[in-house]
Amino acid sequence: MSHHEIHRLHRVGWLRAAVLSANDGIVSTASLIIGVAAAGATQTSILLAGVAGLVAGAMSMAAGEYVSVSSQSDTENADIALEKHSLEHDFEFEKEELAQIYESRGLEPALAGQVADQLMAHDALGAHVRDELGITDTASSQPVQAAFFSAVTFTIGAALPLLVAWLVPGSQLITLVACTSLLFLASLGALAAQAGGASLSIGAIRVAFWGAVAMVLTAGVGRVFGIVS
């Protein structure tokens, strides 16, 4: 009988960026629309603010994700270069260091030495990058991929409340944007939880809760400034 395990770790990089950006797109755009609407703006002004928020937010998320992940990639590359230099100038020390790593994980000293010998004979740098630095193909930084997913998913997320604001009349705009956005957020949280193997209800609740907090606060700000003006 065959046994096949489905692991989800390979999804971590793009899933984090995608969920974060889609969530931010829904929350920020819905909150912006609700805040402007609460201030008494016309539907045209509300839509204009929403579109501007979508474009600015998508570019901000993409740029921020690219810079953040690029910085991580620079650090990884610097550590790899340092490890390569050490291997070229003190191979035996690096072999002993690798053996100690395996020994600390539970291997007997003799066996740890044999494993280090064989792995370094096959791919010395790869063994140290993986087992000493903890960098793998799954966990390695991919700035362009992260930026792309951030921009696309933010745009998709932001388009949802914007579409609702465009379709509904002004008198019902705040209520319908808030309700549909919370539904979108709960669905997103559940979908992300399912992809990551976590609880669907917890994923949905925690995303919807913080979205509701953001909308209530921006509605209050819009109401206050609308009265003042």
pLDDT tens for residues 132-141?
A: 776 666 555 6
Average pLDDT over residues 198-216: 85
Q: How far apart are CA 73 and CA 25, in angstroms?
A: 26
Tell me the two tokens of residue 131.
């087992």
Any idea which residue has 């590359």 for tokens?
77
Distance (Å, rounded) from C-alpha 10 to C-alpha 139? 8
Mean pLDDT value across the chain:
80
Measure the CA–CA gap between 39 and 221, rounded to whole angstroms.
8
> Higher confidence at residue 169 or residue 163?
163
Q: Which residue has the tokens 């270069």?
A: 81
In this prediction, residue 55 has a pLDDT band, given cuts at 50, 70 and 90, of very high
One-letter amino acid of 36: V
Q: At 226, is the secondary structure helix, strand, or coil? A: helix
Q: Residue 19: how many CB atoms within 10 A of its CB?
A: 22
Calpha distance 143→112 (Å, rounded)? 36
Select the more confidently predicted residue: 222 or 27: 27
CA-CA distances (angstroms) from residue 27 to 55, 106, 133? 14, 47, 37
Q: Quick one: which of 123, 122, 146 has its CA closest to 14?
A: 146
Residue 226 has pLDDT above 80, yes or no: no
**Percent share of the chain, pLDDT over 90:** 26
Residues 176, 118: Cα–Cα separation, whole Å? 64
- What is the Cα–Cα distance from 228 to 154, expressed in whole angstroms? 32
